[in-house]
Amino acid sequence: MSFFIENWTLIAVALASGGMLLWPTLSGTAGAGSLNASEAVQLINREKANVVDVCGPDEFAAGHVSGAKNVPLGDLEAKLGSVVKNKTAPLILVCASGTRSRRAVAIAKKLGYENAHSLTGGMGAWRSASLPVEKS
pLDDT at 30: 44
CA 44 centroid distance within chain = 15
Backbone angles phi, psi at 68, to 5 degrees: -75, 150
- pTM higher than the cut 0.85: no
Burial of 26 (0-12, 13-18, 19+ CB in 10 A): exposed
Q: How confident is the model at residue 100 (pLDDT cuts 50, 70, 90)?
A: very high
Model pLDDT for residues 106-124, shown as the tens digit of each residue: 999 999 999 999 999 999 9
Q: How far is CA 86 from CA 44, 80, 89, 91, 132, in A?
A: 15, 10, 6, 9, 25
Q: What is the DSSP letter of 44?
A: H
Model pLDDT for residues 23-74, shown as the tens digit of each residue: 666 654 445 578 999 999 999 999 999 999 999 999 999 999 999 999 999 9
Backbone angles phi, psi at 31, to 5 degrees: 70, 20
